[in-house]
Chains A and B, each alone.
Chain A
Amino acid sequence: DAGVIQSPRHEVTEMGQEVTLRCKPISGHNSLFWYRQTMMRGLELLIYFNNNVPIDDSGMPEDRFSAKMPNASFSTLKIQPSEPRDSAVYFCATFRMMNTEAFFGQGTRLTVV
């Protein structure tokens, strides 16, 4: 298996633009988490899904952020409109099942100018 695949690896966009980050989980993994990492705040949990259903989105900072998981092999995190303070590395992590180890993707480095 290729592991968790995130795209793009790097994204530079202008303030106000829509940004879509993508994640392909490991086949057979039932849980998917989105995290954001910055130097100041560390690794923050944004939202997680179990069996494609959003379980907890309390970490999503604002209504500008939304996430979907239309099927077991794909998830998106969308920011609309983007702002400079959204600049961070966004990670997707998947789990075979709850309460087991997480497998992280390589992350998407987002820069909003």
Chain B
Amino acid sequence: SQKIEQNSEALNIQEGKTATLTCNYTNYSPAYLQWYRQDPGRGPVFLLLIRENEKEKRKERLKVTFDTTLKQSLFHITASQPADSATYLCAPGKGGSQGNLIFGKGTKLSVKP
């Protein structure tokens, strides 16, 4: 069955450092992969989408990579700030008419000042 694993439940880093979150998937061939941010008591909010034919995508301090051979995506936040503290979810998605979007359990990031 399809399986999505995010490297750890929690990640603690110091302000200013780069946070790297990992998303691995098995028994799955996604056409794209999305990353979301979730704050306590709120719904997930979309951050970035990367397609299978893209190696890397950037948005401000965020960078996502997608390696279909390793079946892995890496999510980086550079120059991290306490405001980046949240849970980050990855979601590989199928293309075409099979649009179901399934999520990993997420990694809770804490950025300490």
Contact = CB atoms under 8 A, between A and B. Distances in A.
A42 interface: yes
A67 B43 CA distance: 20
Interface string B77-106: 000000000000101011111011111111
B99 A104 contact: no
A107 interface: yes
B74 interface: no
Q: Give chain A's interface secondary structure class.
A: strand
B28 interface: no
B62 interface: no
Interface string A30-45: 0101010000011101
Contacts of A55: 99-100
A12 interface: no
A42 B103 contact: yes
Contacts of B32: 99
Given A99-B95, A103-B46, A48 B34 contact: no
Given A42-B106, A99-B31, A99-B32, A107 B43 contact: yes
B59 interface: no
A98 B97 contact: yes
Contacts of B105: 41-43
B10 interface: no
A4 B103 CA distance: 19
Interface string A84-113: 000000010101001111111111000000
Nearest to A56: B100
Contacts of B46: 101-103
6 contacts: A31-B99, A33-B100, A45-B101, A99-B32, A100-B49, A104-B44
